Amino acid sequence: MKKWIGTGMICLFLWMIFIYPNPSYAKEKQMVTAFEETGFQMIQTNIHTWGKISDQPFTYEEMEEEVDHISQALGIEKQGIVEKKTNDNIREYIMTRPSSSAKTTIKIESIQNQETTDTYAIIDIVLYEGFESTLYFKELSKTILEEQNIKPTTHVTMTGTYPGPMELSQKEKMANTIMEALNAKTHKTFQTDQIYNQYGYTPVVEEWIKIGKEKVNIDLALRYNEYEDNTYLYLATPVITVEY
pLDDT at 7: 41
- What range defines the domain where residue 55 resides? 2-6+48-154
pLDDT at 100 exceeding the cut of 80: yes
pLDDT per position as a tens digit, 166-195: 999 999 999 999 999 999 999 999 998 889
Of the candidates 106, 105, 103, 131, the one whose C-alpha atom is nearest the C-alpha of residue 44 is 131
Quick check: 11 pLDDT over 80? no
Q: Which of 244, 51, 232 is nearest to 146 (CA)?
A: 51
The string of pLDDT tens digits covering residues 129-168 is 988 889 899 999 999 999 999 999 999 999 999 999 999 9
- 26 pLDDT band, cuts 50/70/90, is low
H helices present in 95-133, as ranges: none
Smallest Cα–Cα separation from 232: which of 193, 178, 196?
Answer: 196
Domains: count for the chain: 1
In a domain, 138, yes or no: yes
- pTM for this predicted structure: 0.85
Q: Specify if 229 maps to a domain.
A: no
Identify the CATH number of the domain in which residue 128 sits: 3.30.2030.10
Percent of the chain clearing pLDDT 90 (strictly above): 69
What pLDDT does residue 47 have?
96
Q: Calculate what percentage of the chain has a pLDDT beyond 70.
A: 89
Integer angstrom CA distances of residue 2 from 5, 6, 27, 45, 101: 5, 6, 33, 26, 19
Q: Name the DSSP letter for residue 163.
A: E
Burial of residue 198 (number of CB atoms within 10 Å: 0-12, 13-18, 19+): buried
Hey, CA dihedral for 45, 173, 198, 30, is it positive or negative? negative
- Predicted confidence at residue 106, as pLDDT, reads 97
